[in-house]
Amino acid sequence: MASPSHRRSLRKRRTLVVSAAVAAAALGTSLFVMNANAEAVDLYHQTLAAKDGWASSGTGTTGGAKADAAHTFTVSTRAELVKALGSVSDTTPRIIKVKGTIDANTDDAGKKLTCANYASGTGYSLSAYLKAFDPATYGTSKLPSGTQETARAAAQSKQAKNIVFRVPANTSIVGVPGTKAGISGGMLQIQNVDNVIVRNLTFAATEDCFPQWDPTDGDDGNWNSNYDSVTLRGATHVWADHNTFTDAPHFDSANPKYYGREYQIHDGALDITKGSDLVTVSRNQFTNHDKTMLIGSSDTDSVGKLRVSIHHNVWKGIMQRAPLARIGQIHIYNNVYDVTPLNGYTTQYSINSRAKAQVVAQNNHWTVPSGGKVAKLLSGDGTGSVAGTGNLVNGTATDLVAAYNAASSKDLKTTVNWTPTLTAGLESSAKNLPTSLATTTGAGAVQ
């Protein structure tokens, strides 16, 4: 007689998983039911799947999945977020659940702070700054220096201390579904740490109260701001998933001009620089923004790093840097780009490959309005590469590199020195992406 099996029947296993999901739903807990044989995993403990882009390489990306109860936090205010993050040197796994929208421009008691609060006591005023560095009297050959520039830097430093949140290693920061979770006016700084997950959050209105005038930037000078919504600097194994990035409610079209140049208060949305490596950016929405994603801070950033996978994202109302890539090995696949002008944001280009970047752009879909030029979807400096096939423009297979090279004096190279292998979820056709990604990307799409 055969001995009885100690394994649960398939029907019982299915029943347990479904029952767990139903019970959790009643308690307001979000679950992903992976399959009939798997345990239900809640959103906060979910880790990056195997072979899902560069961040799955090596040790993979698990964030704070191993956090104990003492290091699991639910936060709704700036002060609570700061406390939950703790010291950036503390590598104890932690899960931070963001409930509702956190306003970074508030003090520890929750009182709203304005640009005037940050400027108070520094001696800075915009009118005095404009008078001090008027190109007609100050000139255009050197950066601002002197009393007002020192005061501007001091005011900017006061704002930075309030709105920059430093994220430790082994951390998951996840928005609580159904609460409009996000951070307004703040910057997550993921610097020189490993193993971080950022999911289901809306990052909006990240604004610098004190942009610096640089008369040497370009032919006519520029105003430069200081904060990205999420910035990676020397970070490794980072997964940014199902987030929304936007300038709203203050669009660039509302910015004034000084010295004939736009007074730009926004910087990047999600920048990956200073030798950051092994990053997966998936199922996010990037919208209403200018300089959106920078990979590599300069042409001399770290060789052998800056390996980034960007897949199943929606880019809409984006002017440039979607992304701008330097040096690294970047896989851009199954994304949707809608370059129709939106709220005053008109696309200059989508993907820029420069400083010998090795970009593979595969099975992406562009929507280009009537009169739009396919040759302007890409950009480069003559040293970068863009390989890949299956890219569609308005549903039609299009050789984007050939279109760009035919109109440019600085050709993009068409071969790369690597072959993507970490491609879980890669779809062989971009045809249906505009429909499928419309409801499955960005904050709030995971429940």
Active site residues: 321
Categorise residue 41: left if φ over 0, alpha if ψ from -120 to 50, beta otherwise.
beta
CA distance 144 to 150: 9
| 45 beta partners | none
3-state secondary structure 10-49: HHHHHHHHHHHHHHHHHCCCCEECCCCCCCCEECCCCCCC
- Tell me how far apart the alpha carbons of residues 370 and 111 are, in angstroms, rounded to a whole number: 48
Given a contact cutoff of 8 angstroms between Cβ atoms, the answer to whether 228 and 209 are in contact is no
Structure tokens at 413: 């190279």
**In angstroms, rounded to a whole number, what is the distance separating the alpha carbons of residues 77 and 74?**
10
CA–CA separation, 74 vs 177, rounded Å? 12
Q: How many CB atoms sit inside 10 A of residue 264's CB?
A: 17
Under 8 Å CB-to-CB from 11, ≥6 apart: which residues?
Answer: none
